[in-house]
């Protein structure tokens, strides 16, 4: 608490300090879209979100993205990066690899420092462009695992940009994530949901980047400006959920109870009755980071244990952007 109060005093030049609203309890990075994530003690903020997050994508023979929505077994693909990859200023060497494991498959190692051939017409949702092909071994590995022609590609940061919806966050960008650079959820929100389910679930169903604790359930719905380790994050849009939270990340099996339960208390009909209904359910808050708009600087790291300082919030989810 003392650390957080000092931080607020330094931001505002003294005055009455603001107590933290929550604490960062876990940080997750998902190097390959729809494959398993990594729980890490810290992560560096770069122009597209956390470094390494959704930098790779599995695509079909036409370059279209595979996700857990249609290929739930992607949930069983384990991903490893060198631990030092999450420290500031680290750069891969010839001995640095992205390592993949999956049931019934040999271990696959992808060199991090090697640049693949450029392939065109790669697409994910609204975006299409070029990407870097990770080669024949990776293609064979995913083709055998999924039972259909597949390739692994890396986002081509040298020539491509994927912008965030300017209606919600103008000027920001991401790589292969669904929409936004960061997703924040509170442990208390998950606890509230678990009280209504026959079998409790873990947070990996919802694939957040930042998990916080110490607040009231669904407090994050209301947060529009927050500070984490001197960086300013903006809550720009409630996260509308798809089929993925129904998929058990340990076995790839879907249970529709999760969505059906969320509909009872997290649908737009319940949360936003005065607006046009879209049949969506919401869980978590999409974020952008102000510092990601400027050139790289020191200290842009979010760590487990960091206080979350809410500087601005709205009155209710009924008036939240969604």
pLDDT, residue 247, reads 97
Decide if pLDDT at 297 tops 70.
no
pLDDT reading at 4 higher than 50: no
Query: Token digits for 60?
Result: 């079909």
pLDDT-based confidence at residue 103 (cuts at 50, 70, 90): very high
| 120 CB burial (10 A radius; 0-12, 13-18, 19+) | exposed
Which DSSP string do the residues of 163-223 spell out, in sequence order? E--TTTSTT-EESSSSS-SEEEEEHHHHHHHHTTSSS---GGGT--SEEEESS-TTGGGGE
Mean pLDDT of 184-203: 98
Burial of 271 by CB count in 10 Å (0-12 exposed, 13-18 middle, 19+ buried)?
buried
Contact, 70 vs 147, CB < 8 A? no
Longest dimension (CA), the chain: 62
pLDDT attached to residue 19 = 87
Q: Are strands 210-213 and 182-186 parallel, antiparallel or unpaired?
A: parallel
């Amino acid at each position: 608490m003392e650390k957080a109060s000092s931080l607020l005093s330094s931001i505002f030049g003294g005055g009455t300090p603001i107590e933290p609203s929550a604490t960062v309890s876990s940080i997750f990075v998902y190097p390959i879209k729809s494959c398993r994530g990594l729980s890490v003690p810290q992560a560096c903020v770069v122009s597209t979100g956390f470094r390494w997050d959704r930098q790779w994508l599995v695509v079909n023979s036409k370059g279209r993205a595979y996700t857990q929505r249609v290929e739930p077994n992607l949930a069983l693909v384990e991903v490893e990066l060198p631990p030092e990859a999450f420290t500031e200023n680290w750069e891969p060497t010839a001995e640095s690899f992205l390592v993949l494991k999956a049931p019934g498959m040999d271990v696959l190692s992808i060199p991090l420092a090697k640049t693949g051939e450029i392939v065109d017409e790669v697409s994910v949702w609204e975006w299409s462009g070029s990407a870097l092909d990770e080669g024949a071994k990776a293609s064979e590995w995913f083709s055998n695992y999924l039972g259909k022609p597949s390739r692994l590609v890396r986002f081509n940061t040298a020539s491509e940009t994927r912008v965030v919806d300017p209606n919600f966050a103008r000027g920001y960008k991401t790589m292969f994530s669904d929409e936004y650079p960061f997703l924040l959820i509170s442990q208390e929100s998950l606890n509230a949901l678990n009280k209504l389910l026959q079998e409790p679930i873990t947070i990996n169903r919802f694939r957040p980047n930042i998990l916080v604790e110490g607040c009231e359930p669904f407090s994050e719905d209301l947060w529009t400006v927050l500070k984490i380790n001197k960086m300013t994050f903006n809550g720009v849009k409630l996260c509308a959920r798809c089929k993925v939270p129904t998929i058990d990340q340990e076995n790839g099996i879907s249970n529709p109870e999760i969505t059906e339960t969320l509909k009872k208390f997290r649908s737009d009909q319940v949360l936003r009755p005065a607006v046009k209904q879209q049949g969506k359910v919401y869980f978590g808050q999409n974020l952008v980071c102000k510092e990601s708009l400027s050139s790289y600087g020191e200290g842009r790291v979010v760590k487990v244990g960091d206080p979350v300082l809410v500087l601005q919030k709205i009155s209710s989810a009924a008036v939240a952007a969604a």
